[in-house]
Amino acid sequence: MESIYYVLCWACHRRCKHCYEARFRPYVRGALREVVEEARSTFPRVIDSLPDELSYLDLNAPSETAPGGYERRASRIILAGGEVLVDPVREEVLYPALEAIQAKYGPQGVRVIVQTTGDLVTPQIIDELLARGVWMISCAGMDDFHVGHEGDKRVPLIDRLREMFEAAGLRDSALASTTRNWADQTTDQPVYSMFGATEDAWIGKIWPRGRAWENSLSKAGITDNFCNVWSGGLGFLNRGYSGSEVSIDPNGDVFPCCLKTAAPLGNLCQERLEDILDSLVGHPALEAISMGHPERMGMAHGWDLPRFLDESRTTRPDGEPYRNLCIGCDRFFEKVLGPELARLREERIAAKRAAE
């Protein structure tokens, strides 16, 4: 895979109205302990179920001399929340997970990214992250939806973060919010980045998910294809090549996109990631997602294009009509693909047990 986006824990110190996942919120007392224990018990099994070797061939960098005909680059593992820097997630989950990743992938040069809203970062935390092999600290709360970060209010935070990062030896990655220029990151020097759900960002129109949906914030229409962009399903089945990414939930569920389909592809507490993805190669619906054409995912199941586009209609909670391909995807998963994925998972697990 080029990238693995792993949501470690549901706990967050914020309850942002634009969040794509309603389970990202503050938890207290027993509820906090419950989500932390889930994350702490699950992450070792998730990391163990990831490929033993993580790298990819960059299809944008052909080479006459490199094995495979393309430049081979180190993969990325992005650890996110919620907010992974809150107590006790940071000490009980994030740091042990980083140490496990370093033990498994350190010699391979896999690049580990910690994603945070930014407002909990301190010089000590930066040092502790770097000591555990973190390559990038990515601050994703630079937008008007994060309370206290609106407009010019976030400028002092940005300045303070930049000062802390550069004092610790990190450089600005200069990652763009509109294009994927990860291949430009050729140095092993630790870096930092800052972004948010701004108008120029790929998530600027807001995904129709979670509290963003509950608050009728998505401005995406039927022409906005979230599947056909980075962090969508585009290329997720092209394991070993650029563009391949999956998203993992705290319980180990695997999805083809960060938005998350209405049912998971499998679960890493039960199966290895390679086994899940390899078993789905050639499946018409999932190949359509991987090609960035979700509107064609139902072709083999009687859902022609007019049917899918019609299923993509709904009404927002505020009563306004809404059309987006994510809605059609949700309905297809709920009515057709979810049960089929569950059946395929049971068949894989049964075959594995029979082979043992």
Q: Quick one: average pLDDT of 13-42?
A: 96
In this prediction, residue 184 carries a pLDDT of 63
Bridge partners of 247? 5, 255
In this prediction, residue 350 carries a pLDDT of 93
In this prediction, residue 181 carries a pLDDT of 59
In this prediction, residue 187 carries a pLDDT of 72
Contacts with 123 (C-beta within 8 Å, 6 or more apart), sequence order = 164, 167, 168
CA 236/CA 243 separation, integer angstroms: 7
- CA 164, chain centre distance (Å): 26
pLDDT of 347 above 80: yes
Cα–Cα–Cα angle for 161, 164, 168, nearest 5°? 135
Confidence of residue 44 (pLDDT cuts 50, 70, 90): very high
Confidence of residue 186 (pLDDT cuts 50, 70, 90): low
Question: Cα dist. 326→213, 314, 354 in Å?
Answer: 12, 11, 37
In this prediction, residue 148 carries a pLDDT of 77
Report the range of poorest mean pLDDT among 31-40, 141-150, 215-224, 328-337. 141-150
Confidence of residue 287 (pLDDT cuts 50, 70, 90): very high
In this prediction, residue 179 carries a pLDDT of 56
pTM tops 0.85, yes or no: yes
Strands 313-315 and 321-323: antiparallel
CA 92/CA 111 separation, integer angstroms: 21
State pLDDT tens for residues 203-250: 779 999 999 999 999 999 999 999 998 889 999 999 999 999 999 999
Confidence of residue 152 (pLDDT cuts 50, 70, 90): confident
In this prediction, residue 143 carries a pLDDT of 80
Burial of 230 (0-12, 13-18, 19+ CB in 10 A): middle
Strands 70-74 and 55-62: antiparallel
In this prediction, residue 43 carries a pLDDT of 98
CB 190 within 8 A of CB 132: no
pLDDT of 174 above 80: no
Per-chain mean pLDDT for the chain: 93
pLDDT of 86 above 80: yes
CA 216/CA 326 separation, integer angstroms: 15
Q: Quick one: average pLDDT of 110-116?
A: 96
